[in-house]
Amino acid sequence: MTFVGHEHAAQLLHNKCVIVIGDSIQRSVYKDLVLLLQRDSYLSSSQLRSKGELTFESDALVEGGCHDNMHNGTQYREVRQFRSQHHLVRFYFVTRVFSRYMLSVLEDLRRGPPPDMVVVNSCLWDISRYKAPWVEDYMEHLHRFFRGLTEVLPQETLVVWNLTMPLGHKILGGFLTPEVASRAGQLRFDVVEANFCSSVLAAAYGADVLDLHFSFRFSLQQRTRDGIHWNAVAHRRMSSLLLRHAAAAWGVRLPPASLAPAATAWGVRLPSLAPASLAPAPAATAVGTKDKQPIKEALQPPYQREAYSLQPPYQREAYSLQPPYQREAYSLQPPYQREAYSLQPPYQREAYSHRTAREDGESAAYRAPATPPNSQAYQSAQQRPPQYVMRTRHTRRVVAPYSHRRHVP
């Protein structure tokens, strides 16, 4: 996807108040937004790992963090705020979706400036550090949180519930105490169930759901070694997804950003975030010999530099005016008609060999296809839509050509 650049992000969030509530991953979302509002650059690995620092990119630590005891317990607090002339971004670190501390956060939202956008996620701590049968407790706290959020926020506030990112097979984190370390292998499955429960409740209370679990299911190489957190490229993609979702909700059209290659970090080629209008122009070619192109010709797009290339590739030669299968008389027929032997499907090409083997007694274990291809059952099966296409061919309900592999009573 195309990332959102600094200029577009600053214009979209101009005179906007954004609140981010969640765990350490949402803290990195807050940091990437703060950095993106100031310049086009990525978070460093030390910035992603650090927590509770006094300042980060001109923001301020309001509460908790290094002002208090730094620990990995459920009572850890951290409130950060970035404020510029036209932007206000605030972050609350929470370990439970609803608690006494969450009541104080909701009170801050009611008394403070009305937020234009609230980004929330709370899952891993809820399902791992509290009650082992977490479903009922988590659902009840979600009900209380969304009910309280609708009471304190104005109706025009955009509430985005982020679904939890995919976890690794082996995870390491500060929230995993020795008491719950035995459940680490099960958490990646619990996250899927928790995402479903939270998404249903968020939609029921009128909040928007951003499915980051689905968006990053094929980007697991951007996950760090602990199996929980993600690198800077992934967080820039999260910020772009959030900003594009907000732009669609507010009726703003974001232009696509340039994807020119830039510096490399974490073994990943980072895309350039500069708008297309700011991209440097290609250098002109020198003039002096016949082999070199003139400057006027070099400034033209590649497909206009030669008159020969003005035509599509299949029209550059008279021979190529015909489709590939008509260039030779032999190829006038489709591939499956070039030989009479290939007119039959593969499982019918050597029907005589089955009969010969059975009569000669060479293959007594052979079983003929349960459903002949010319039968009515086979024809009806071919007309039905493939309902089990995601299954393997051994479990898929297909009459032919794999019907002879199934046991027929």
pLDDT of residue 262: 42
Residue 370 falls within a domain, yes or no?
Answer: no
Q: Crossing angle of helices 134-152/100-111, nearest 10°?
A: 20
Q: Above 90 in pLDDT, residue 37?
A: yes
Q: What ranges in 37-86 are assigned the alpha helix state H?
A: 45-49
pLDDT of residue 230: 96
Domain enclosing residue 138, as ranges: 6-277
Residue 357 falls within a domain, yes or no?
Answer: no
Residue 402 falls within a domain, yes or no?
Answer: no
Whether this prediction's pTM lies above 0.75 is answered by no
**pLDDT level of residue 377 (50, 70, 90 thresholds):** low
For residues 155 and 57, the answer to whether their CB atoms sit within 8 Å is no
Give pLDDT tens digits for 201-257: 999 999 999 999 999 999 999 999 989 999 999 999 999 999 999 999 999 988 765
Q: By C-alpha distance, which of 33, 142, 157 is closest to 90?
A: 33
Give pLDDT tens digits for 305-349: 444 444 554 544 444 445 555 444 444 555 555 455 445 555 554
When pLDDT is averaged across residues 112-141 and rounded to a whole number, the result is: 92
The helix (run of H) or strand (run of E) holding residue 62 is: strand 60-64
Q: Above 90 in pLDDT, residue 21?
A: yes
Q: What is the separation of C-alpha 318 from the centre of its chain, rounded to a whole number of angstroms?
A: 46
Residue 236 falls within a domain, yes or no?
Answer: yes
Q: What is the separation of C-alpha 51 from the centre of its chain, rounded to a whole number of angstroms?
A: 25
Quote the CA–CA distance of 16 and 255 in Å, as a whole number.
20
Give pLDDT tens digits for 263-305: 334 434 444 444 433 333 343 333 333 443 433 444 444 444 4
Residue 375 falls within a domain, yes or no?
Answer: no
**pLDDT level of residue 374 (50, 70, 90 thresholds):** low
In percent, the amount of the chain with pLDDT more than 90 equals 52
Split into its structural domains, the chain has a count of 1
For residues 32 and 59, the answer to whether their CB atoms sit within 8 Å is no
Residue 132 falls within a domain, yes or no?
Answer: yes
Quote the CA–CA distance of 115 and 112 in Å, as a whole number.
8
Residue 282 falls within a domain, yes or no?
Answer: no
Residue 406 falls within a domain, yes or no?
Answer: no
pLDDT of residue 295: 35
Six token digits for residue 373: 């291809």
Q: Quick check: helix, strand or coil at residue 68?
A: coil
**pLDDT level of residue 170 (50, 70, 90 thresholds):** confident
Tally Cβ neighbours within 10 Å of residue 116. Answer: 18
Quote the CA–CA distance of 273 and 40 in Å, as a whole number.
6
CATH code where residue 155 lies: 3.40.50.1110
**DSSP per position, 240-270:** HHHHHHHHHHHT--PPPPP--EEEEETTEEE
